[in-house]
Amino acid sequence: MRIDEESEGVSASRNHLVFAYYVTGHGFGHATRVVEVVRHLILAGHDVHVVTGAPDFVFTSEIESPRLFIRKVLLDCGAVQADALTVDRLASLAKYSETAVVPRASILKTEVEWLTSIKADLVVSDVVPVACRAAADAGIRSVCVTNFSWDFIYAEYVMAAGSNHRSIVWQIAEDYSHCEFLIRLPGYCPMPAFRDVVDVPLVVRRIRRSRKEVRQELGIEDDVKLVILNFGGQPAGWKLKVEFLPPGWLCLVCGGSDTQELPPNFIKLAKDAYTPDFMAASDCMLGKIGYGTVSEALAYKLPFVFVRRDYFNEEPFLRNMLEYYQGGVEMIRRDLLTGHWKPYLERAISLKPCYEGGINGGEVAAHILQETAIGKNYASDKLSGARRLRDAIILGYQLQRVPGRDMAIPEWYANAESELGMGSPTCEMSEKSSLMNSCTEDFEILHGDLQGLSDTMTFLKSLAELDSMYDSDKSAEKRQMRERKAAAGLFNWEDEIFVARAPGRLDVMGGIADYSGSLVLQMPIKEACHVAVQRNHPSKHRLWKHALVRQQAEGKNPTPVLQIVSYGSELSNRGPTFDMDLADFMDGDQPMSYEKAKKYFSQDPSQKWAAYVAGVILVLMTELGIRFEESISLLVSSTVPEGKGVSSSASVEVATMSAIAASHGLSISPRDLALLCQKVENHIVGAPCGVMDQMTSACGEANKLLAMLCQPAEVLGLVEIPGHIRFWGIDSGIRHRYEALYVKMLPESILGETFLVKYDGHNDPVTVIDPNRNYGVTAPAKHPIYENFRVKAFKALLTSANSDDQLTALGELLYQCHYSYSACGLGSDGTNRLVRLVQEMQHSKASKSGDGTLYGAKITGGGSGGTVCAVGRNSLQSSQQILEIQQRYKDATGYLPYIFEGSSPGAGKFGYLRIRRRPCVNPNE
């Protein structure tokens, strides 16, 4: 049932009623919206007993009445936050168990007695589960008022904690089922536990003072740009700086600590400041998404620059609502911490938020509660079995979802809801607002799943822009870019395109010991390569002019051609395009040899890069007997930086082979695909690499470490990265270039010629021993033996109890690995400097004053430069310290390191997309 925005108001003195209003302990947002509902109930002459863990001032600053009674009890802890932007999933479940599960019998007994003693007419919950069960036991009706329920939020946390915690979710859902109906607020999540629903407008606190009055009080002229910083409490140790704000801007800081010193362009608000007035006086807001911030930003038409939180599933639904009404700009966490605020603030003030819906949800909800308490039956709009089933499926999806995957509202859910005529903002938002939906507007996705990956959405958006660019003269700047111009004519847009994605990798443990059969632990990183492939009959293929001239000069009928465009050529000093007749891969009736192919791609240094991409086709021809009889168009776009030791080449190979296999109907397992890609790099590119990189890119999973042996290539399993641990990669800027029985038997070094005479070769078919070189023996032999032990210990520690000792031991293993690398002669000044900076930060006074943040670091991959892997606590302070290390490294060397942070699925887990461009519709027709 939907209540109209124009309400009758709350009738005064419809009997003198007593309400027991339970408020969750999660943040102030719930308490502030409860205030608005309670205010209207008290204005109507009723008594309200608020059961809460929130400070009294949240209620008493707005309501001064003897009819308001505050009972300080915490029965629902909500989500435990490690800091302002990070939810600790395991701690949340542990705290809920401690707060509501272990003492459950005692809580129910106490609450039933208390409800009876105050003679409550109605129990209202926002959104404390046990309150509904206590009301039922006391024989009192209950109603929930909320936009989300804890069974939906905790569902993801169970994935981190293990299925033995699912009973918490089911208990919460069972408690909610005793509620008579749900008063549902806009921006809601699926809530299958509730049988009946009444939709109301936004619950928003009223404004007491005008923009002009607030600015006069603060002494701020009307032409000064004002941003309000609202994170529900400042991140610990966060330092705000003058340069964070553009000239002519001031910032109002909510929740700053009493000891925090602020720059002159930042103004600290009192802790009990009435935030709505200051929001309405500002030009935009910078903060985290919650119901309170989003609803009030929409109500006051205040542009909202938001930073995402990890692991809070309410956020995507509110975010979609915010973006649908053109009121939101997303800021990445790194830019928040480094003070790169200017482009976001300037973008925000250009927005025109367009929310025109009702903002009297507090009054409407109070009216419904009053009428329910005197006996009116609102439970008439029962959610259909189909609708509740859809919600339940979404909840089940949460319980089984891929860790690390962004939560998005499934299109089928939104469409089904629209078919029921629910007409909720959630449906409209999810169909029109986000980048994901702009992708589905551009392309029909015939197979596959975007998996919430923003880089995939961006890649599809860039494809759509190529289509319009091809026939447009408006993109003068873009047309000057050779690669974009070439890519614009690459595809036939009415035909299907196949897209694959493969990430780079961070070598967490194992490194060069993989050559000796040691266990390795590798993490697929957030940065990835996307490849789009289209096959066409030669007669339909769009040929570049020189390729067309070549075929005409040879007097040929149209023959299959391979055309490749690779983005990023300007940054790597290589040609942006490559093309060849596919027949050139044949030597008579057989594919050309790998050695011949290697020479073919080495002819032109600016085209040598094509061996990584085109070489995939030759390997498939040689190893699987595939013959390619149609033309192939191929676009490569990678965000994996080159030369930084994170496997940029492997990601290109794996993504290319995945896309070509998908477009030609080939079924290749991720492991076999990795082995085939290794052949590309070993035999056609000519790089003597192991298979570790390709295996991680193909077989890895988000937020897990791939445990594998590389000789032979054997995946041993996946190791979940605990929620309290995070890994970073820090680029040095320097490019790649047992003891009891055996140690006394090994020489310190050996001449290559001596080794060949004595041992007649080695087991690696792609590396060559130089007879004239003197090779170190003792340290390189010692490293893999001890490294294998270190990796096994590291793997075991990841599954041990969350403690400072656990992190300290993990960090110590990284340090030991780094020193062992160095003993093999693989260190570099840059990587050694980064490891020292991590050590200095770890042992600094700031880190020792509380829980430690950073715990260890090591050189990665092949060594001699590249990237350092660091381990630390998953918190905002750790991220800030990584950024501080980045700046210290720049101050010392002049080079600003690239920071790798985050994880994403491997190519096998991603699968592939099969897409078709939707026809453009002329709006004037």
- Residues 519 and 794 sit within 8 Å (Cβ to Cβ): no
Instruction: In whole angstroms, give the CA distance from residue 876 to residue 435.
Output: 26
Q: Using H for helix, E for strand and C for coil, what is the string for 423-435?
A: CCHHHHHHHHCCH
- Residues 529 and 677 sit within 8 Å (Cβ to Cβ): no
Residue among 574, 575, 620, 629 nearest 594 (CA): 620
Written as six digits, the tokens of 724 are 């309290």
What are the distances in angstroms from CA 439 to CA 129, 308, 667?
38, 21, 27
Element of type H or E holding 47: strand 47-52
Burial-class residue 643 by CB neighbours within 10 Å (0-12, 13-18, 19+): middle
What pairs with residue 638 in β-bridges?
529
- Residues 487 and 565 sit within 8 Å (Cβ to Cβ): yes
* The residue to which tokens 């800021």 are assigned: 331
- Residues 107 and 75 sit within 8 Å (Cβ to Cβ): yes
Q: List b or e across 39-53, with b for residues whose CB sees 16 or more CB atoms inside 10 angstroms.
A: bbbbbbbbbbbbbbb
Q: Using H for helix, E for strand and C for coil, what is the string for 314-378?
A: CHHHHHHHHHHCCCEEECCHHHHHHCCCHHHHHHHCCCCCCCCCCCEHHHHHHHHHHHHHCCCCC
- Give the DSSP per-residue string, 258-324: TT----TTEEEPPTT--HHHHHHTSSEEEEE--HHHHHHHHHTT--EEEEPPBS-TTHHHHHHHHHH
Burial-class residue 919 by CB neighbours within 10 Å (0-12, 13-18, 19+): exposed
Looking at this protein, which amino acid is placed at residue 412?
Answer: W
Burial-class residue 912 by CB neighbours within 10 Å (0-12, 13-18, 19+): buried
Three-class secondary structure of residue 481 per DSSP: coil
Instruction: Work out whether the CA dihedral 592, 593, 594, 599 comes out positive or negative.
Output: negative
CA 644 from centre of chain: 22
Three-class secondary structure of residue 870 per DSSP: strand
Instruction: In whole angstroms, give the CA distance from residue 345 to residue 285.
Output: 9
Three-class secondary structure of residue 45 per DSSP: coil
Written as six digits, the tokens of 292 are 């309170």
Three-class secondary structure of residue 783 per DSSP: helix
**Catalytic positions, written as ranges:** 693
Strands 443-447 and 328-330, by their bridges, are unpaired
- Give the DSSP per-residue string, 549-611: HHHHHTTPPP--EEEEEETTHHHHTS-SEEEEEGGGGEETTEEPPHHHHHHHHHSSGGGTTHH
What are the distances in angstroms from CA 464 to CA 471, 498, 868?
12, 14, 37
CA 233 from centre of chain: 23
